[in-house]
Amino acid sequence: CIKRIRNVSQKEENIRCLTLLGHFGFECLPYQLVNRSIQQGFSFNVLCVGETGIGKSTLIDTLFNINFKEHKSSHFYSNVGLRVQTYKLQESNVQLKLTVAETVGYGDQVNKEASYQPIVDYLDAQFEAYLQEELKIKRSYFEYHDSRIHVCLYFISPTGHSLKSLDLLTMKKIDRKVNIVPLIAKADTVSKNDLQKFKSNIMSELAGNGIQIYQFPEDEEPTAQMTSLKEHLPFAVVGSMDEVKVGKRMVRGRQYPWGVLQVENENHCDFVRLRDMLLCTNMEDLKEQTHTQHYERYRCHRLQKMGFTDVGPDNQPISFQEIYEAKRQELYEQCQREEEQLKQKFMQRVKEKETEFKEAEKELQDKFEHLKKVQQEETMKLEEERKQLEAEIIDFYKMKAASESLQAQTCTNTKKDKERKK
């Protein structure tokens, strides 16, 4: 037995071991997905809602560490609008197409009742554009730029007390259309104790008004990082691209007479937590929530409005083709009915016009007869006057002839009298 074991160990020592050059089998699938995603690039769409001058552009610059050189907005816009810009960024070998939509003139009008409407219209327009691309026969998702908003950074004024009515109304209108992440802008203007109370008041108001904000993904065992993020909502942020010297190093922050506020210091503000949540841990979840929840809700409502359904009147599954044929038949019958109604209306209008023309013709005929009668009377009158005038002319010539005859006779008698006297 000992000899046999030695022979086996000697054979094992003689076996040549091959080193693996890489992964093989279906364990390579994640690497394929990573390589493909890197080649195609990524896209991320952000909506910034907040009052003018609250620091929206500055925060976006600070998040991506790039100065986008946005034009400063005025406080004198008559209506609320949206300014949309798309940027192509690259970090290492990863490309990102970033679309930033910022409100312009939000909260500057005296009448703020319709301030939220341009935001709602913009969100619906992006959903509708994607839906129309889906319904095409030849779709081109790789070339199509998906402009659906993945996250809405809602900037709250640092009042330290409560939310404004405009904030509650706007967030209530858009909470089922986009992932809302509330931010307390310019948080360095509120003291630390007041900031915690302010956060608590905001979360209570949001819950009391039934406003749904972005919910972080919950695993079976929630991590300490996710728990920490939830506890810090809404994020108190400060943006700055200025570099300030602290000790022997340069940091991004704001210089005050009492010291330096460091933007990337978690003890000073929640900027790092917001950046990690948006870019490092939850970007794909935000995009997934946009597609699976908000867009699906819009798509379902839109298709139901168009008349499509999953089940028929007997609660049996119905195919898209059957629904299409039913809608086609329904539209054909509706067109037939509308065509018949138009024909009837046309015939009715023709009859009305014929009646109007007949009445007008009768009126013209009566007027013509009247004028004809007047003309005849005038002609008869002129004829009588002509006859009378002719009679007067004849009488005149008779009188003239008689006068001439009398005058000639008188002359003759006068000559005779003269001759007698001689």
Query: Alpha carbon of 8 to those of 2, 3, 16, 18: distances in Å?
Result: 10, 9, 15, 20
Joined tokens for residue 270: 């929640």
pLDDT (0 to 100) of residue 224: 56
- The confidence score (pLDDT) of residue 3 equals 45
Q: What is the pTM of this model?
A: 0.70
Taking a C-beta distance cutoff of 8 angstroms, is the pair 237, 187 a contact?
Answer: yes
Instruction: Give the model's pLDDT for residue 8.
Output: 47
The 10 Å Cβ neighbour count of residue 399 is: 10
Q: Around Cβ 282, how many Cβ atoms within 10 Å? A: 22
Q: What is the DSSP string of 242-278?
A: -EEEETTEEEEEEEETTEEEETT-TTT-SHHHHHIII
Using DSSP bridges, classify how beta strands 151-156 and 42-49 pair: parallel, antiparallel or unpaired: parallel
Q: Which helix (H) or strand (E) holds 81?
A: strand 81-91
Residue type present at position 135: L
The answer to whether 157 and 107 have CB atoms below 8 angstroms apart is: no
Which residues of the chain fall below pLDDT 70? 1-25, 69-76, 141, 219-228, 310-320, 422
What confidence score (pLDDT) does residue 142 get? 73
